Structure 1
Amino acid sequence: MKNTKRQSYFTSVVLVCLIAFTSCKVTSQEPAKKEIVISKNLKWSDKMALTLMKRHPEAYMIDDSKKPKWDYVHALVLHSIEELYKKNPDARYKTYIRGYVDELVQNDGTIKTYELDKYNIDLVVPGRLLFDIYAASKEEKYLKAMQLVRQQIAEQPRTQSGGFWHKKIYPNQMWLDGLYMGEPFYAQYTLTFENGKNFDDIAKQFEVIQSHATDPKTGLLYHAWDESKQMPWANKETGNSPNFWSRALGWYVMALVDVLDYMPKDHPKQKELVKYLNNASAALAKYQDKSGLWYQVTDKGGKEGNYLEASGSSMFAYAFAKGANKGYLPASYKKLANKAFDGLTKKLIKTDADGGITLTQACQVAGLGGTPYRDGSYEYYVNEKKKDNDPKATGPFILAALELNR
């Protein structure tokens, strides 16, 4: 009897030890992610970044994606977190970005889900995330992935006047969005690997859209231009789409301030791009609402259905603040940027129970043509769905907060 008791006691001890050992082993192999705490006194940039990381534990989940994909919306948010990391080197930011890149960039430098032959200029943006990772790691796969994206730019179909088509499925069309999608990567690449030899071609993209899509009356730029004038949405004389969309204009001014980071001051085209930024910014300043924000359809503030929109307003706040900080724009634009940021935080931000933040009133998506057909009418823009914490708003919001040190 005693023996049996002793044996069962011994067996229990061994089992307890084994369980303890294996659970320790599992823990040491897979460290549990610490729960993200978002405190009240954080800067807005950290608050937004940590909110997104808490809601989307893996970066590929941004925008509620179910599977990893090489996509401009993820890249926009992760680029903003990359800029945040430079100001606040919290290791969690770096890990989050690297997790996304390593999920998609394969050992041979190919990129999962990326289809070069679609010539979709949106898919150039994630290439921006590769520069810092390659510089730090010197792993060849990141260089090869950058070269692959650069190949798309080399082969991207162009209008007769030399501007990149927005996508292969949108022949002869340049959209303002495309300037942000293609040019900052192109500028950084040509500076880093090509001794800056393609800055003229980059400037050319802005020249083409500026000369064709600018409205002489308001100074604003139309969302898109069809060189062939064949699309039903295109004006038969000018080829322009019918309305001014704040986010499209936001992409444009962000493209200018980001490209200017790489273009040397003594480059003959540098002053030209600074002039475009000043012209577009002066036009936009006239349409800033007293709240500090801008409307979805930029020039139709009082019209029924129009609303103060988060992504365009965040983009303008960023471009104005950065433009002023870098000396491209007069210092007065910093005040306009702060007014815009006040509008965002007072009117469009909600604080969640866990301290996270939600940016409301962001247009989810808007485009032209396609199926179902998008006609670019006023009614079309104001009736597109809205989405809270849409990445096209949260990324620029982080960038604006950084430029304004808020």
Structure 2
Amino acid sequence: MRKVFLSLLTILSFQFTSAQQNSFIKFPAGSVPDETGKRLAYHFVDGRHELYAGRYIHYAEVCTWNGALDYAVKTKDQKLIKLLQDKFEPFFTREKPLLPPMNHVDYNMFGSVAFKLYQITKDERYKKIGLAYADSQWELPDNAKPEEKSWADKGYSWQTRLWIDDMYMITVVQNEAYKVTGDRKYIDRAAKEMVLYLDRLQRPNGLFYHAPDVPYIWARGAGWMAVGMPDLLRDLPKDHKDRPRIMEGYLAMMKSLKEFQRPDGMWNQLIDQADFWPETSGTAMFTYAFIIGVQQGWLDAATYAPAARKAWLAMVSHIDERNNVTEVCIGTGKKNDKQYYHDRPRNAGDLHGQAPYLWCAAALLGK
């Protein structure tokens, strides 16, 4: 009887695994992750830099660069890797003035792309740049404000500001520094920050306001948390003291996101507002979080794999003939005004949207 039960369990397990794999591997023509990622990655290579006020590389470009590199590595596209290296090379010479200053979470995350290039090439120049950005995030400047000094005295980054965006901007560069150096101080920093933000900002339903004084659940803002948590959890040592708290926060968010997913697979600009428009960058970030959770075994595949698949198919329909993602909310600061979020302009090709689409394409190609 026991043998019969075990055989049945094996068959059911195989059928379940196959169904899960089909959700993430078998896509109709026009929505295959490999092809979609290639379109978006090569489009990025050909694009001009996106700058803050015409001066420094914008974090959205860094996010897209990271996605293009992840895709290139997954597909072993050596041509693309070389093109992405060539795009970075001028930063060592004539484009060096475009490097962001090391004084803000949005600027410091530039180090993450340098770390990714180091992991591919082992060129020490990339590592040097990456470490400068990672370390300066914890090195209190001489002209620090009292609030910044207060955060530093408690062991947090002096750049802490309790905006949910930070849980990608801070954690990505610290996590990549950990992967490059093996020094646990970097991932300890990222985990400590993540727990602070979870304790201060997560709502009872698992979602997040844009900021403590802005009670609106903005899709892309929440998306930074949705991406930051699984990316950190993948590399966080299993015995790390902060792992249970971060996993708790991640699972609570995923459960709530599943409940607010639209029938067409998308999520709205304000997640919990049915009369708001479906927004692509937030949708892509939530989809990525689902994909990673299923692949890592943290999320129930029977529930979340079909949800991720539905979202991906909806997302691909929002890529136009020029390989631009449409319906992307432009860069948005916090504001305690619901209509403000409703009326935000939508850009085609905005790198806030191109980036998480690339993350999803790379993730769908496997662990």
- Is the 2:34–2:361 Cα contact (8 Å) retained in structure 1? yes
- Is the 2:328–2:350 Cα contact (8 Å) retained in structure 1? yes
Which residue number in structure 2 is paired with residue 297 of structure 1? 270
For residues 203-214 of structure 1, the aligned pairs below 5 Å read 203-214=191-202
Aligned residue among 79, 82, 88 for 1:95? 82
How much has 1:329 moved relative to structure 2? 2.1
C-alpha distance 163-386 of structure 1, shift in aligned 2 (>3 A): farther
Structure 2 residues not aligned, in runs of 5+:
1-28, 141-147
C-alpha distance 359-207 of structure 1, shift in aligned 2 (>3 A): same
How much has 1:44 moved relative to structure 2? 3.7
**Bigger CA drift: 375-384 or 314-323?**
375-384
Which residue number in structure 2 is paired with residue 311 of structure 1? 281
1:242 aligns with 2:215: yes
What letter corresponds to residue 135 of structure 2 in structure 1?
Q
How much has 1:191 moved relative to structure 2? 4.2
Which residue number in structure 2 is paired with residue 17 of structure 1? none
CA distance in 2, matches of 1:189, 1:387: 33
Q: Which has the larger radius of gyration?
A: 1
C-alpha distance 402-105 of structure 1, shift in aligned 2 (>3 A): same
Deviations 1:326-365 (A, max 9, x none): 122222222211111122224x233x2xxx5332111011
C-alpha distance 249-45 of structure 1, shift in aligned 2 (>3 A): farther
CA distance in 1, matches of 2:45, 2:100: 26
1:121 aligns with 2:108: no
Which residue number in structure 1 is paired with residue 237 of structure 2? 264
- Report the aligned-residue RMSD: 2.8
Hey, which bits of structure 1, 4+ residues long, moved more than 6 A? 64-68
**1:301 aligned counterpart, secondary structure:** coil
- Is the 1:45–1:397 Cα contact (8 Å) retained in structure 2? no
CA distance in 1, matches of 2:186, 2:266: 36
C-alpha distance 173-64 of structure 1, shift in aligned 2 (>3 A): closer
How much has 1:149 moved relative to structure 2? 0.5
How much has 1:58 moved relative to structure 2? 4.1
CA distance in 2, matches of 1:394, 1:45: 15
Aligned residue among 136, 143, 156 for 1:152? 136
What letter corresponds to residue 359 of structure 1 in structure 2?
V
Q: TM-score, normalised by structure 2?
A: 0.80
Structure 1 residues not aligned, in runs of 5+:
1-39, 167-171, 226-233, 235-240, 369-374
- Is the 1:106–1:141 Cα contact (8 Å) retained in structure 2? no
What count of residue pairs does the alignment treat as equivalent? 328
CA distance in 2, matches of 1:349, 1:130: 28
CA distance in 1, matches of 2:41, 2:50: 9
- Is the 2:174–2:189 Cα contact (8 Å) retained in structure 1? no
Which residue number in structure 1 is paired with residue 323 of structure 2? 357
**Bigger CA drift: 45-54 or 337-346?**
45-54
Aligned residue among 346, 356, 378 for 2:338? 378
How much has 1:273 moved relative to structure 2? 1.7
Deviations 1:173-219 (A, max 9, x none): 31111110110220221343253134333222111111111222x33
CA distance in 1, matches of 2:232, 2:208: 18
What letter corresponds to residue 168 of structure 2 in structure 1?
Y
**2:324 aligned counterpart, secondary structure:** strand
C-alpha distance 363-276 of structure 1, shift in aligned 2 (>3 A): same
C-alpha distance 136-77 of structure 1, shift in aligned 2 (>3 A): closer
- Is the 1:58–1:100 Cα contact (8 Å) retained in structure 2? no
What letter corresponds to residue 99 of structure 2 in structure 1?
Y
Aligned residue among 27, 30, 50 for 2:39? 50
Which residue number in structure 2 is paired with residue 133 of structure 1? 117
1:343 aligns with 2:303: no
What letter corresponds to residue 292 of structure 2 in structure 1?
K
**2:270 aligned counterpart, secondary structure:** coil
Aligned residue among 372, 393, 396 for 2:353? 393
Which residue number in structure 2 is paired with residue 287 of structure 1? 260
How much has 1:401 moved relative to structure 2? 2.6
Q: TM-score, normalised by structure 1?
A: 0.73
- Is the 1:165–1:174 Cα contact (8 Å) retained in structure 2? no
Which residue number in structure 2 is paired with residue 327 of structure 1? 297
C-alpha distance 48-159 of structure 1, shift in aligned 2 (>3 A): farther
- Is the 1:293–1:343 Cα contact (8 Å) retained in structure 2? yes
Larger RCO (CA within 8 A; separation ≥ 6): 2
Which residue number in structure 2 is paired with residue 5 of structure 1? none
Which residue number in structure 2 is paired with residue 37 of structure 1? none
C-alpha distance 329-255 of structure 1, shift in aligned 2 (>3 A): same
